[in-house]
């Protein structure tokens, strides 16, 4: 079973000072998948990816990447993992060619053919300083650096956040081409849900340091339904299905549910949902439960 | 790794080289001039002999002529600190710009990265310090033959202490930068820390590294040969046991021409019973003091660099 899992977190937590950046995170990411790690800023996406690449160590729990500990087996794991950090840091004073040379010098598994071919295809000027390139070009250079390692697992932290829509599309296109060619496992984090649906087949929703939903995107879409009907208490529905989010107007109630089997009740109208609706529902749900928790606490203190 | 470390430190290394080149440009012409003058005036024949009037005059005119440049070179004691913090800059910039996240996620471990980066900085710092020592020692050779090299201003840039100072500057810059992660303020604080430490050692600590020697001699006799080129901490009239005293000179004042008054040394020595007393480090202790001070700065530097590496290794990320 271990052979099918690219990344496994077990009760993983990371605390900075008194604040938990990630807590009780348990998940498995299968080999060969393209996983979108979604959540608002500060949800713990960066923390999870940095733990996965050994840039930080867990406060609790453990994380295993390609069967090893990214921090303790660093020399065994690092060559097999490609990582592009948030805002794709690069040595701005180095030229594109020098950046590739840096990659060649620091990676025994470096494939110069892959790097050259990508740089040529992207028409990046080799003698140009990296700091003078556009944001999209810099992201491509950083991706090239990660890809030329021939990684088994590619981790991308907010790779498209700083890019304009065109560069964003081109970047995701590049990632999808690589996946098609090499079958590399990819985990990419984003707070922008649009575009991800085409690029990814698995989804992890992180919010306020905790995982909310994990699974293949097609299963997620198949199991979630939007119900609309006359205004009512959703308790009946909640007995059978998981109500992710409810909203009410004077006459109407709208529920987003994770359906356990079919929804038979004829008073509800069923609608398909898209990925963005599901993600927003889960992110919104969290804030509802937090509010009710605070109300409870107020009641206790009163 | 070596190429990467070198490429990322190239700018700072070139600046360090430019600073040294500037010093060469300043010092080489006056150095040649000074060496020629020393030779031409026949000063080497004067030194180490019983002083005669013409020799004194030649020495005086020589020291007058080069006094100003010599004073300038005393400021060169700031240069090791400057070179040290400068070479710490690439290490701190890597943390400030977040590029360490790129470096540490290539195939090499962060331990190797830190060792390579700091190791190269240390090597460059030592090379720069060694060049500085050679340059200043060559330049000042004639002045050292006249005045010795025990005075703070000279001691600080001769021998081997400069190696320790430069590493110390590097260590301070790296240690402050590892915690602060801002290059400019960290390097400024590092340099100020360097200055404060150096002043403390120059003014207070160095004279206490070894217990100084004492000498007492008759007031009208020449000072003992051990005091030649020595670092004199205290010197003055004393009783014959070497306790410093405020001499009562009334009886030994002689009237001279034009109403001036002179002290008669023979009278002070024999009738008033005064001696001279000095507390000093002899010139022969030069290497012992150099060795101790270099070891102190070197050990603190190693500790600071080790701390910077440890802190970065354990606390970053």
What is the crossing angle of helices B286-315 and B161-180, to 10°? 20
Confidence of residue A294 (pLDDT cuts 50, 70, 90): very low
pTM for the whole structure: 0.89
Is pLDDT of B316 > 90? no
Q: Measured between CA atoms, how close is A163 to chain B, in angstroms?
A: 19
Per-residue pLDDT of B50-104, as tens digits, reads: 556 777 788 888 888 888 887 878 888 999 999 999 999 999 999 999 999 999 9
Query: CB of B52 within 8 Å of any CB in chain A?
Result: no
More confident of the two residues A55 and B253: A55
Gap from B176 CA to chain A (nearest CA, Å)? 21
* Interface test mutation site (partner B, options A106, A108, A150, A156, max chain B beta carbons within 10 A): A106
> What average pLDDT does chain B have?
91
Q: Which of A163-177, B107-121, B246-260 is least confident?
A: B246-260
CB contact under 8 A, A107 and B103: no
Specify the pLDDT at position A24: 92
Contacts of A85 in chain B (CB under 8 A): 98, 101-102, 105
Contacts of A89 in chain B (CB under 8 A): 97-99, 101-102
**Separation between Cα atoms, residue B170 and residue B305, nearest integer Å:** 8
Distance from CA of B311 to the nearest CA of A (A): 13
Domain map (residue ranges) of chain B: 2-210+286-315, 213-281
- CB-neighbour burial class of residue A201 (10 A; exposed 0-12, middle 13-18, buried 19+): middle
pLDDT of B301 reads: 98
Does the pLDDT of residue A140 top 60, yes or no? yes
Q: For chain B, say whether A89 makes contact (Cβ under 8 Å).
A: yes
pLDDT at B273 over 90: no
Q: What is the mean pLDDT of residues B20-37?
A: 93
The sheet carrying B213-218 orders its strands as: B213-218, B275-281, B231-238
Contacts of B50-58 spanning 24+ positions with Cβ under 8 A: none
**Where do runs of H (alpha helix) occur along A183-301?**
196-199, 217-223, 235-240, 275-301
Contact A109 B108 (CB under 8 A): no
pLDDT of A155 above 80: yes
State whether residue B109 sits within 8 Å of chain A by CB. yes
Q: Tell me the per-residue pLDDT of A58-114, one tens digit each, with 9 for 90 and over.
A: 999 999 999 999 999 999 999 999 999 999 999 999 999 999 999 999 999 999 999
pLDDT in tens, A185-198: 999 998 878 778 88
pLDDT digits (tens, 9 = 90+) for A19-73: 999 999 999 999 999 999 998 888 899 999 999 999 999 999 999 999 999 999 9
Q: Between chains, do A89 and B98 touch, taking CB under 8 Å as contact? A: yes
Confidence of residue B134 (pLDDT cuts 50, 70, 90): very high
Scanning every residue of chain B, which has its alpha carbon at the shortest distance from the alpha carbon of A99? B4
Q: Which of B11, B97, B101, B117 to mutate to test binding with chain A, by most A CBs within 10 Å of its CB?
A: B101
User: What average pLDDT does this structure show over B152-172?
Assistant: 95
What digits encode the pLDDT tens for the residues A213-271?
899 999 999 999 999 999 888 888 888 888 898 888 889 999 999 988 887 777 888 88
How many CB atoms sit inside 10 A of residue A151's CB? 23
Query: pLDDT for A256-269, tens place per residue?
Result: 999 888 877 778 88
Contacts with B48 (C-beta within 8 Å, 6 or more apart), sequence order: none
CB contact under 8 A, A55 and B4: no
Pick left, alpha or beta for residue A110 (phi over 0 → left; psi -120 to 50 → alpha; otherwise beta): beta
């Amino acid at each position: 079973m271990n052979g099918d899992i690219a990344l496994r977190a077990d009760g993983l937590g990371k605390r900075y000072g008194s604040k938990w950046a990630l807590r009780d995170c348990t998940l498995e990411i299968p080999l060969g998948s393209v996983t979108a790690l979604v959540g608002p800023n500060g949800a713990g996406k960066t923390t999870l990816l940095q733990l996965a690449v050994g840039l930080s160590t867990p406060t609790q729990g453990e994380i295993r990447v390609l069967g090893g500990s990214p921090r303790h087996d660093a020399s065994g794991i690092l060559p097999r993992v490609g990582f592009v950090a948030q805002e794709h840091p690069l040595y701005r004073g180095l030229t594109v060619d020098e950046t590739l040379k840096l990659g060649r010098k620091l990676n025994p598994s470096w494939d110069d053919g892959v790097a050259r071919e990508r740089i040529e295809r992207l028409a990046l000027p080799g003698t140009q300083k990296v700091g003078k390139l556009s944001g999209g070009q810099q992201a491509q250079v950083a991706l090239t650096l990660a890809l030329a390692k021939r990684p088994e697992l590619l981790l991308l932290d907010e790779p498209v956040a700083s890019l304009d829509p065109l560069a964003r599309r081109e970047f995701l296109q590049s990632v999808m081409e690589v996946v098609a060619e090499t079958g590399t496992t990819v985990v990419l984090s984003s707070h922008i849900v649009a575009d991800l649906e085409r690029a990814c087949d698995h989804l992890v929703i992180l919010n306020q340091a905790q995982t909310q939903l994990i699974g293949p995107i097609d299963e997620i879409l198949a199991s979630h339904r939007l119900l609309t009907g006359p205004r009512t208490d959703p308790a009946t529905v909640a007995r059978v299905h998981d109500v992710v989010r409810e909203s009410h107007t004077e006459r109407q109630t709208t529920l987003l549910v994770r359906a356990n089997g079919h929804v038979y009740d004829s008073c509800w109208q069923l609608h398909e949902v898209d990925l963005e609706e599901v993600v927003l529902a889960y992110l919104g749900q969290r804030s509802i439960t937090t509010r009710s928790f605070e109300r409870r606490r107020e009641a206790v203190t009163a | 790794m070596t190429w990467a470390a070198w490429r990322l430190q190239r700018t700072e290394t070139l600046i360090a080289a430019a600073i040294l080149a500037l010093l060469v440009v300043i010092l080489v012409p006056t150095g040649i001039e000074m060496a020629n003058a020393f030779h031409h005036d026949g000063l080497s024949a004067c030194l180490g002999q019983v002083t005669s009037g013409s020799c004194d005059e030649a020495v005086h005119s020589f020291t007058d002529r080069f006094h100003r440049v010599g004073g300038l070179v005393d400021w060169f004691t700031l240069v090791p600190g400057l070179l040290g913090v400068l070479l710490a800059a690439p290490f701190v910039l890597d943390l400030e710009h977040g590029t360490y996240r790129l470096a540490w996620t290539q195939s090499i471990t962060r331990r190797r990265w830190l060792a390579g980066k700091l190791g190269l900085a240390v090597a460059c710092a030592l090379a720069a310090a060694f060049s500085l020592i050679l340059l200043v020692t060559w330049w000042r050779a004639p002045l050292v033959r006249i005045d010795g090299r025990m005075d703070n201003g000279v001691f600080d840039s001769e021998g081997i202490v400069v190696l320790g100072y430069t590493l110390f500057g590097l260590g301070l810059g790296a240690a402050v930068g590892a915690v602060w992660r801002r290059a400019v303020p960290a390097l400024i604080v590092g340099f100020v820390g360097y200055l404060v430490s150096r002043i403390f050692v120059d003014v207070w600590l160095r004279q206490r590294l070894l217990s100084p020697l004492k000498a007492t001699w008759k007031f009208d006799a020449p000072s003992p040969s051990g005091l030649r080129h020595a670092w004199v901490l205290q010197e003055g009239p004393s009783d014959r046991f070497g306790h410093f005293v405020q001499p009562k000179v009334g009886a030994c004042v002689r009237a001279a021409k034009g109403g001036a008054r002179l002290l008669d040394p023979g009278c002070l020595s024999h009738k008033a019973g005064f001696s001279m007393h000095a507390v000093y480090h002899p010139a022969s202790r030069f290497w012992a003091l150099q060795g101790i001070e270099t070891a102190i700065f070197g050990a603190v530097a190693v500790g600071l660099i080790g701390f910077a590496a440890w802190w970065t290794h354990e606390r970053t990320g």
